[in-house]
Amino acid sequence: MNAIRPAQFDDWLAQAGQDQPAARPVLLDVREPWEFQTASVPPAEGFDLVHMPMRSVPARFAELDRDQPIACLCHHGARSAQVAYFLADQGFTRVVNVQGGIDAWSHERDRSVPQY
């Protein structure tokens, strides 16, 4: 499974745009609703933020486009890795895991994102 650090997210976005310009990248946040409300990545240009708690992914993954690049995010990277593997098993070929999760995002990219 491919993985990126939060500090590499902009590079991943740029590469995803070059590989397939028509497919808008997705940051898939698989944390629980209370976690998403506590701390989340602010919406930004260049990608869609989708919240889909891990336990709902098996029932909802059809909502995702197999052609879109997807970066999976959780608190520290373990749940998102499981989701990334699951999506890959379902035929998604452009999936990466964000190692370190939202916690590392706060340290490496955006200190305004609360830690919990």
Which residue numbers are catalytic?
Answer: 74
* Main-chain dihedrals φ then ψ at residue 12, nearest 5 degrees: -60, -45
Q: DSSP letters along 31-93, please? A: S-HHHHHHS-PPP-TT-EEEE--GGGHHHHGGGS-TTS-EEEE-SSSHHHHHHHHHHHHTT--
Q: Is 32 left (phi over 0), alpha (psi -120 to 50) or beta?
A: beta
Label the pairing between strands 70-73 and 95-98. Answer: parallel
| Token pair listed for 39 | 């701390």
